[in-house]
Amino acid sequence: MGDALQLDNPKQQLQQYYAGQQVESPNGGFLMLLGVRGNGDGSATAIFECNVSSLWYQIIIPKATRTERKKVREVLDVGGDPHCPRHGRSRKLTRAGKDLVCPDCGVAYAKA
């Protein structure tokens, strides 16, 4: 996965990704998710393939903010089942080692 291209301004693509919408490719067409991997520092990298050009693009998914961590911690503290602060209620966090991770973001939002 080393030779994926960077997007110039992935803000819009990230928003579409979090909203569960189709992610627009800079070449027209759409970006199809190939996989998400954690970067070890709390952030993650999502790899997409453009369905028109077949080029691969990578988008860095930023690590959890203090506000996001707090939100998730508050749900945990009352015995709740927290969802991803970015993907919303349809996406529950799952345990991965010592972390609670969103399977779509690859981002850890709390310690399990």
Question: Where do contacts with Zn ion occur on this chain (CB under 5 A)?
Answer: 84, 86-87, 102, 104-105
Cα separations in angstroms, 50 against 5, 15, 19, 31, 68: 11, 17, 19, 4, 30
Nearer to Zn ion, 14 or 84 (CB): 84
Q: Closer CB to Zn ion, residue 84 or residue 110?
A: 84
Contact 109, 66 (CB under 8 A): no
Tell me the closest approach of the beta carbon of residue 78 to Zn ion, in angstroms. Answer: 21
CB of 101 to Zn ion, least distance (A): 9
Q: How far is the CB of 12 from Zn ion (least distance, A)?
A: 17
- The minimum distance between CB 55 and Zn ion, in angstroms, equals 25
85: number of CA atoms within 13 Å, CB side?
A: 19
Q: Do residues 31 and 24 lie in contact, with contact meaning Cβ atoms separated by under 8 Å? A: yes
Of 28 and 74, nearer to Zn ion (C-beta) is 74
Query: How many residues appear in the chain?
Result: 112
Give 55 or 96: the residue with its C-beta nearer to Zn ion: 96
